[in-house]
Amino acid sequence: MKKILLTGALGQIGTELTEKLRDVYGVDNVVATDIRETDHPVVNNGHFELLDVTDANAMGEIAKKYQVDTIIHLAALLSATAEAKPLLAWNLNMGGLVNALEVSRELNCQFFTPSSIGAFGPDTPKNQTPQDTIQRPTTMYGVNKVAGELLCDYYHHKFGVDTRGLRFPGLISYVAPPGGGTTDYAVEIYYKAIENGAYTSYINKGTYMDMMYMPDALNAIVNLMEADPANLKHRNSFNVTAMSIEPEMVAAEIRKHIPSFTMDYNVDPVRQGIADSWPDSIDPTAATEEWGFKAEYDLAKMTQDMLTKLKSKLA
Ligand SMILES: NC(=O)c1ccc[n+]([C@@H]2O[C@H](COP(=O)([O-])OP(=O)(O)OC[C@H]3O[C@@H](n4cnc5c(N)ncnc54)[C@H](O)[C@@H]3O)[C@@H](O)[C@H]2O)c1
């Protein structure tokens, strides 16, 4: 990666990834874009352009203007929002992706986009879900992610585009709020623990899902993009995870720092249904073997850091 265009750069991942890429590759070599503009370091501290990813021409113009050689495509509608607005999700998630792939093909750019554990479905093996397995998701988001994984493979085989991707689990972070995913409870719980000492979870106890702390997700993106292509058998959509957790486990870990913390439940049938269709735990062996994936944060280390960072943020 030398000169990088990011889409959806003001979202949960992009906000932190933009800063990391500016640190690693230099401020001048990162071009952040989003459909909206706010008073934010992503906008103020380096190159920023307004871009609607469904506008292929505008994307191509920005890519040419800055002579980028890498596109990191993040703009998408997430799982819970996509279930509420399935047609919008199809148009944004598939339309934006094919535009970004086309610009990458035309300008010979390296390409990255995240998939998700949402690319699995109720027929997928639930525990230690293998890298290559049944993918019959029952959500619009999952349909988009499976189609996206296949489309990225197609652009590699058919056109030689250097496409790469990760199947992210729920990402936990304290900088930007999550954008309407099913795993958002695992972020909200930390905010509410500090603000109210209590949290009402919309995901039921005993519902295991994979999660990862944002610093591990950012390292995984950079490490995969820098990996020697000769070692990549899978390329698109490596399983990556740091922990398989359920709400009671997070609450118990928070109580080690805030003993009075309480949690009750008001289960949201839509998000619970999505969670029930996803794996309990996925197997990241292919990512470990092909490009050395390793997560640094487990639940205990992440909880300590989240609470410390959020306490100063919310003070
Ligand atoms: N956050 C997670 O837990 C998680 C987990 C798995 C996969 N992912 C994937 O990672 C990617 C980024 O996720 P995120 O959590 O940062 O999302 P987010 O919802 O936080 O951010 C998405 C960004 O895209 C922008 N956007 C929306 N419509 C746009 C358009 N038409 N053109 C340009 N920008 C537009 C929004 O303004 C927003 O800033 C998505 O593909 C998502 O599916 C995220």
pTM over 0.75: yes
Tell me, in angstroms, the distance from the centre of ligand 1 to residue 171's CA.
12
Tell me, in angstroms, the distance from the centre of ligand 1 to residue 148's CA.
14
Per-residue pLDDT, 179: 85
> Which letter, b or e, does each residue of 280-297 get, where b requires 16 or more Cβ atoms within 10 Å of its Cβ?
bbbbbebbeebbebebeb
Q: Which residues are catalytic?
A: 141
- Among 34, 151, 174, 183, say which to mutate for ligand 1: greatest number of ligand atoms within 8 Å of CB: 34
**pLDDT of 120 higher than 90:** yes
74 pocket-lining for ligand 1 (C-beta < 6 Å)? yes
Residue closest by Cα to atom 38 of ligand 1: 11
What is the tens place of the pLDDT at every residue in 223-266?
999 999 999 999 999 999 999 999 999 999 999 999 999 999 99
Contacts 24+ apart (CB under 8 A), 302-309: 302/172, 302/213, 302/242, 302/243, 303/190, 303/250, 303/253, 303/254, 303/256, 303/257, 304/257, 305/213, 306/172, 306/174, 306/190, 306/213, 307/190, 307/193, 307/194, 307/254, 307/257, 307/258, 309/174
Per-residue pLDDT, 133: 98
| Separation of alpha carbons 141 and 122, rounded Å | 14
Per-residue pLDDT, 1: 64
171 pocket-lining for ligand 1 (C-beta < 6 Å)? yes
Backbone angles phi, psi at 54, to 5 degrees: -80, -5
Contacts of 93 (CB under 8 A, 6+ apart): 76, 77, 82, 141, 144, 145, 148
| Separation of alpha carbons 297 and 243, rounded Å | 9
What is the tens place of the pLDDT at every residue in 47-98?
999 999 999 999 999 999 999 999 999 999 999 999 999 999 999 999 999 9
| Separation of alpha carbons 2 and 95, rounded Å | 26
Tell me, in angstroms, the distance from the centre of ligand 1 to residue 181's CA.
10
What is the tens place of the pLDDT at every residue in 201-229?
999 999 999 999 999 999 999 999 999 99
What is the tens place of the pLDDT at every residue in 145-194?
999 999 999 999 999 999 999 999 999 999 998 988 999 999 999 999 99
Query: Which band of pLDDT confidence, cut at 50, 70 and 90, is reported for residue 118?
Result: very high
251 pocket-lining for ligand 1 (C-beta < 6 Å)? no
Tell me, in angstroms, the distance from the centre of ligand 1 to residue 9's CA.
8
